[in-house]
Amino acid sequence: MSQHNISGKKVAFLLTDGVEQVELTSPWNAVKEAGGVPTLVSPKTGQLQGYNGTEKGQKFTVDLAAGQADAADFHALVIPGGVVNADHLRVDKDAQAFTRAFFEQHKPVASICHGPWMLIDAGVIRGRNVTSYHTLQTDLRNAGANWTDQEVVVDQGLVTSRNPHDLPAFNAKLLEEIAEGEHAGQTA
């Protein structure tokens, strides 16, 4: 059980087909165990295909379409990775707007592995301290981020990690930032 109680706090998980399954299920379970209420938001409706690396994993049911989602209804946002998931998600205008709204409302956002690609296309990464899967470092730096190779980086409510091996640290910081609430430095 988490040391952080986030009872009743609503957490949006933004993803699509190709999500790295454990990067969804591990933080999702951490949020639930800490008393939070996770919601799966996607540009796609119906079911999404998760992956374990390159192998198909579970399917997940979408709770809310990104075009109908309102950041004001949530306390935090989680953007899992997976190359296909992140690449398709980052070009969706509704997903971009939804992500950007969390920064505009100073709410915690957590993104792991390839997930930070969304932060580039949402226009919220310039000047921020982040990490990610190592292949994204040039993209993030070119977008104005300060990229470092660390297990987890926290910058004013923005939590980022590199890969599934970092999930324990990622989940702990995600819950800590949700418990702390809004951060004045979390801006678009």
Query: Distance between CA atoms of 115 and 20, rounded to whole angstroms?
Result: 10
Phi, psi of 146 (to 5 degrees): -100, 100
Longest dimension (CA), the chain: 41
Question: By C-alpha distance, which of 162, 133, 164, 175 is closest to 57?
Answer: 164
Is 114 among the catalytic positions?
yes
Structure tokens at 95: 């997903």
Closest by Cα among 51, 103, 113, 43 to 77: 103
Q: Which of 113, 134, 165, 183 is catalytic?
A: 113
Active-site hit among 114, 134, 165, 183: 114
Q: How many CB atoms lie within 10 A of CB 46?
A: 8
Active site amino acids: 113-114
